[in-house]
Amino acid sequence: VERAFRSSGNIIGCQVIIIYNLKMLRVFQRKFIVKKLECNLIIFIYIRGRL
């Protein structure tokens, strides 16, 4: 998983999502390790949800 985040170039953002959404991680795990774009999309949704 960490390798995918390194290649995504958005390590910090993804880690934040994992820390606050460990339960949801299993559901979105595949999307997390696929592409940077999908990771950013999850971060965007998360931020909007927090706001």
Residue 48's pLDDT is what? 75
pLDDT at 5 over 50: no
Q: Which two tokens stand for residue 11?
A: 């390590």
Residue 46's pLDDT is what? 73
Q: Give 8-40 pLDDT, tens digit per residue.
A: 455 555 556 555 556 665 666 655 555 555 666
First-last CA distance in the chain: 27
pLDDT at 51 over 70: no
DSSP letters of 10-50?
-HHHHHHHHHH-HHHHHHHHHHHTT-HHHHHHHHHHHHHHH
pLDDT at 50 over 60: yes
